[in-house]
Amino acid sequence: MPSTDPSTSVRRRGSGRLLRPARGAVAVLAVVALVGLVAACSSDDDSSPTTTATEKTTTTAPKKLTILVSNDDGVGAEGIDALVNALKKMPDTEVIVSAPATNQSGAGGKTTPGELTATPTTMISGTDATGVAGFPADSVAWALDGGIEQKPQLVVTGVNSGQNIGAFIALSGTVGAARAGAQRGIPALAVSAGINDAEGYAEAAALAVKWIEEHRAALLDGSMATTPASVTNINVPACSAGTPRGLVEVPASSQPPADLNPVDCSAPAPPAPTDDNGAIAGGWASISDIGMG
């Protein structure tokens, strides 16, 4: 007698007979039943972990800022050593030093024709550097024209021994080195302090770090990399008493400073300066946009 089990048979309408389904149909029914059972079990278990594609997160590593450092007092000078030590403490920052092998103060933007000789050396604190036999602008040109592998996003020069303000800017090898970078589309920062002023070097280096922190995003995204690029000039007064009154943004004077002797930075403040000469004479640090001159 045919089976009447409803799980394995189907009744045809209009007929009293029971028809056994084909083997394929039985397999399909079994699979459907199994899927339903699994789904029911899954829905009853609230503890089942679920994951989605949107739960995945990615972390992008911070982009490193590369800085080329030079000066005109020579690779073994105290001012550049103070600057490099301050810059190296900045996170995600690489510092590369290419500076004149010997003192080239007052060289302005002079360059040497022909090939340049560059020699690995170390600075006062032991930092690796390259000493270039030539002018300050040569040391920057050597680095940017193939001497180093990484293209920096910024050129920083100094800390110079002696302020580069007013008409002295045109004579400054520190500024000349900065402008050599700007000519190649890399923004530059020139930094100077009083002659043989260790405290001034530290203050100038700190101001350089602050300026870089404020402009880091623009340096990294390339928005400051115009041709020619900007040249910013920071100078710190030598204080016979007290400390610099603060940093003022002023235009550069076309006149030479009256003198660069230490000033009493603790005395009552004079009227607000109108140019970089007045700022240094009054005990302020100055910052000026000096372009390519």
What pLDDT score was predicted for residue 54?
44
Cβ neighbours of residue 228 under 8 Å, at least 6 residues apart? 179, 182, 183, 185, 291, 292
For 249-270, the pLDDT digits (tens) are 999 999 999 999 999 999 999 9
For the chain, which residues make up each domain, given as ranges? 10-41, 65-289
Segment 223-244 shows an average pLDDT of 97
Residue 45 token pair: 């278990």
Query: Alpha-carbon distance 237 to 26, whole Å?
Result: 96
Per-residue confidence at 62, pLDDT binned at 50, 70, 90?
Answer: low
For 125-134, the pLDDT digits (tens) are 999 999 999 9
CA atoms within 13 A on the CB side of 15: 7
Query: Alpha-carbon distance 104 to 4, whole Å?
Result: 109
Residue 109's nearest CA partner among 72, 156, 160 is 72
For 33-46, the pLDDT digits (tens) are 444 433 444 444 44
pLDDT, the chain, mean: 86
Q: Span 65-289: which CATH code?
A: 3.40.1210.10
What pLDDT score was predicted for residue 236?
98
